[in-house]
């Protein structure tokens, strides 16, 4: 390399690479970040159907219903203020049960039913999702 200052060139290349990476990250974040909603948020915001999102709350009492194929379930997620119906095809996690915390990942269908690709469940406060923690009581957050 004939450049007078190779160190400067290297720094410029590195900075360019980092800016490129940052731009790539930002554009991907805009498309792919899944926002966290409670049923009440969802009722208020009505996000578009192709937007990946997360729905968190408690599984409503006596709301889990099984469909005939044996692997699809529907249930209601509640935050005390609103309820959202959820449909999920798959094996529900071991800790998934009524009256316990749940986070469903998926998309809101046009019919208002949340179609979950994945369900995360936590069986007690020790494993309560922090997102839910903030929603339910205002502690446990790092300032």
Partner 1 sequence: MTAELGLILLLIAAALAALQFGLGAISLRNPQAGGHASIKPVAVLQGIAVALSFLCLIWVFLETDLSVKLVAANSHPDKPLLYKFAGAWGNHEGSMLLWVTVLGIAGGAVALFEKRLKVTSLTATLAAQAAISIGFYAFLLFASNPFERLNPAPETGQGLNPLLQDPGLAFHPPTLYFGYVGMSVAFSFAVGALITREVGPTFARAMRPWVLIAWIFLTLGIVAGSYWAYYELGWGGWWFWDPVENASLMPWLATTALLHSVTVLATRDGLRAWTVMLAVVAFSMSMVGTFLVRSGILTSVHAFAVDPKRGAFILALLALYIGGALTLFGLRIGTVREGNRFDPLSREGALVANNLLLSAILGIVMVGTLYPLIAESLTGEKLSVGPPYFNATTGPLALILVAVMAAGPVLRWRRDEWSAMARRLALPILFGAAALLAVVLSAPGIGILPLLGLVLAIGVGAASLAPLWKRNLRRTPLFTWGMVISHLGVAISMAGMASESAFTKETLTAVTVGETRSVGPWSVTLKEVHPVAGPNWTAMEGAMEARRGSTLIASATQARMFASPPTETNEAAISTVWDGQLYLVLGKHQPDGRWQVRMWWKPFVTLIWLGGILIALGGLLAMIGRLRRELKPKGEAA
Taking alpha carbons only, the member of 55, 62, 95, 96 closest to residue 77 is: 55
**Residues 109-128 within binding reach of partner 1 (CB under 8 A):** 120, 122-124, 126-128
Number of residues in contact with partner 1, rule: CB under 8 A?
54
C-alpha dihedral sign at 110, 89, 66, 123: negative
**Residues 2-61 within binding reach of partner 1 (CB under 8 A):** 5-7, 10, 13-14, 17-18, 20-22, 24-26, 28-29, 31-36, 52, 54
C-alpha dihedral sign at 22, 28, 31, 32: negative
Out of 46, 81, 89, 137, the residue judged to bind partner 1 by CB under 8 A: 89
Q: Give the span between the Cα atoms of 35 and 81, in whole angstroms.
A: 19
Per-residue DSSP letter, 58? E
Report in angstroms how near the CB of residue 112 gets to partner 1 at its nearest: 21
Taking alpha carbons only, the member of 86, 91, 87 closest to residue 39 is: 86
Report in angstroms how near the CB of residue 67 gets to partner 1 at its nearest: 10
Which residue's CB is nearer to partner 1, number 14 or number 44? 14
Taking alpha carbons only, the member of 78, 74, 43, 42 closest to residue 60 is: 78
Report in angstroms how near the CB of residue 118 gets to partner 1 at its nearest: 9
Query: In the numeric block, which tokens belong to residue 19?
Result: 């800016």
Q: Under the rule (CB under 8 A), what is the footprint of partner 1?
A: 1, 5-7, 10, 13-14, 17-18, 20-22, 24-26, 28-29, 31-36, 52, 54, 66, 69-71, 89-92, 94-95, 103, 105, 120, 122-124, 126-131, 133-134, 139-143
């Amino acid at each position: 390399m004939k450049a007078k200052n190779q160190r400067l060139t290297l720094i410029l290349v590195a900075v360019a690479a980092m800016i490129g990476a940052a731009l790539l990250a930002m554009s991907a974040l805009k498309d792919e970040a899944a926002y966290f909603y409670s049923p009440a948020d969802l009722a208020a915001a009505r996000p578009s159907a192709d937007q990946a999102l997360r729905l968190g709350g408690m599984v409503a009492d006596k709301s889990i219903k099984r469909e005939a194929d044996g692997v699809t379930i529907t249930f209601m997620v509640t935050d005390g203020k609103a309820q959202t119906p959820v449909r999920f095809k798959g094996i529900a996690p071991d800790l998934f049960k009524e009256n316990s915390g749940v986070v469903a990942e998926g998309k809101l269908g046009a019919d208002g039913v949340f179609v979950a690709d994945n369900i995360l469940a936590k069986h007690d406060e020790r494993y309560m999702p922090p997102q839910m923690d903030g929603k339910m009581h205002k502690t446990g957050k790092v300032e």
